[in-house]
Amino acid sequence: MFDDVREALTRLDRDVSDAERVDQLTALERIKAACAAAQVRITTDFAESQEQVAAAWRQRAKECADDNDFDGWVAARQQAQRAPVAGDDEAVRHHRRRPGSDLGVPGQVALARRESPSRGARHLAAALALVRHLPRTLAALEIGALSEWRAEIVVRETAVLTADQRTAVDAELFDGLAAEGVGQLGDRELQRRVRAIAYRLDAESVMARRRGAEADRRVTIRPAPDTMCYVSGYLPVAQGVAVHAALTQAAATARAEGDERSTGQLMADTFVQRVTGQATAKAVPVEVQVVITDRALFTSTFGADDETPAQVPGYGSVPAAWARDLLHDSEARTWLRRLFTHPEDGTLVAMDSTRRVFDGGLRRFLVARDGTCRTPWCDAPVRHIDHVVDHASGGPTTADNGQGVCVRCNHNKQHPGWRARPEPAPPPHAWPTHTVVTVTPTGHRYTSSAPPVLPGGPSGEPSLLERHLETVLAA
């Protein structure tokens, strides 16, 4: 099916006027919305089918219990867990998850759509809501009047309502306003109208939303240009205002005492000092791991000429010169650990077995090698180190049988019907790139390979150690 659609799109007439090109863009946008609506219906069909399978297994478990067949009861209960939330409107509305649920139906949806597990769970919740409770919104999506994003706004803003209330909001939103009219609303205006109707129908939903939002408080980090980053706190308003006010007051006091830094610089430095407990913002202990080639690190010392970008796990690429400045000028103690990468593709293949001050070398190796969660399309930070083949099944505690995963994916790996195994990459690699093959309950295979630790470097470039050995051997 994909090949047919792709072929048709590649044959679009490009020898047209600009007015026709605009019409083509509009038509393609509506087609994207219709595709999203088709995904909604397919997702719901898949979830409901899986729920029927689970219901049959639950019935089988009851029959085994009645027959005092303990082993059969355990096996049937495990099979029934494959469809975690498909028929549970209350759980879907409040995004509740049972242990092991994300790699059931939501996990398979995520892999099929090449999304993270958390995004797969949101796709499932939105699909069930649109099909079961928001028929007019789904119809507007199907005809291309609403985009997928705006349909999700309606889903999100009605999430705390009951099923009947959701349907009432859906009806009132389109009452007297055609689907095209709703489609002409901007994101904020659509959100405002849906909220207004929802609040009138159930004022308590305002408080429920507030409580739900407070439960989702968190701190996140994401890269910014020029070796900077954003550390964001999603906080209740009173706490957020208090944090900002405290930083503002500290900056104003320092400025009054003659500090020449700007108010923004003072607030940022005070934020780092108070969160980390450091005496100064620059005294960062360089267990903020920095991965850099020996040639780039010692470029001036040995006359090497290598500006391969360094890597900061959890952040990404940084210029080699910036990494040298950090390592040379840091006010904190610095340790070096040798990492050995594949000369062709840059993946991490080995590391020193010794480490001063801290232990856990194997764990650090895997975190450095994988960077982010190894579940395909999940970019969450590595929080746990997982046995690819479970330890209980005889899997060894080795680098080959280890992978870095996020908390969600590690907890869900035991879900019935899911299998994983390490598998070497095919030749011509001198060392195998670490590869994990995951098989879902429907038999689909997904492969993830360890990324290059230092992307952007020259391929096959010898290290200083290799050059030194060549010199010694030549002598």
pLDDT in tens, 124-133: 999 999 999 9
Tokens of 410: 């590690």
pLDDT beyond 80 at 201: yes
Q: What is the mean pLDDT of residues 289-298?
A: 67
All structural domains of the chain with their residue ranges: 2-215, 218-276, 286-371+451-475
Phi, psi of 358 (to 5 degrees): -115, 150
pLDDT beyond 50 at 96: no
Q: What is the mean pLDDT of residues 201-228?
A: 78
Position 220 scores a pLDDT of 85
Kindly indicate the confidence band of residue 396, based on its pLDDT and cuts at 50, 70 and 90: confident
Task: Taking the CA atoms of 169, 173, 179 and 183 in sequence, report the sign of the dihedral they define.
Answer: negative
Kindly indicate the confidence band of residue 86, based on its pLDDT and cuts at 50, 70 and 90: very low
Tokens of 124: 């499932």
* Segment of 79-83, 136-140, 396-400 carrying the highest mean pLDDT: 136-140
Higher pLDDT, 265 or 312: 265
Position 253 scores a pLDDT of 93
CA gap 336, 334 in Å, rounded: 7
Tokens of 462: 């010898």
- This prediction has a pTM of 0.68
pLDDT in tens, 307-364: 777 777 666 677 777 777 766 665 555 555 655 666 555 666 665 544 332 236 778 7
Residue matched to tokens 């430095």? 269
- Count how many Cα atoms sit within 13 Å of the Cα of residue 409 in the half-sphere of its side chain: 33
Position 141 scores a pLDDT of 95
Higher pLDDT, 321 or 153: 153
pLDDT beyond 70 at 472: no
pLDDT beyond 50 at 118: yes
pLDDT in tens, 407-428: 888 877 777 778 888 886 555 5
pLDDT beyond 90 at 453: no
| Average pLDDT over the chain, rounded to an integer | 79
Tokens of 183: 């489609």
pLDDT beyond 50 at 37: yes
Report angle CA 85, 88, 89 to the nearest 5 degrees: 120
Position 88 scores a pLDDT of 45
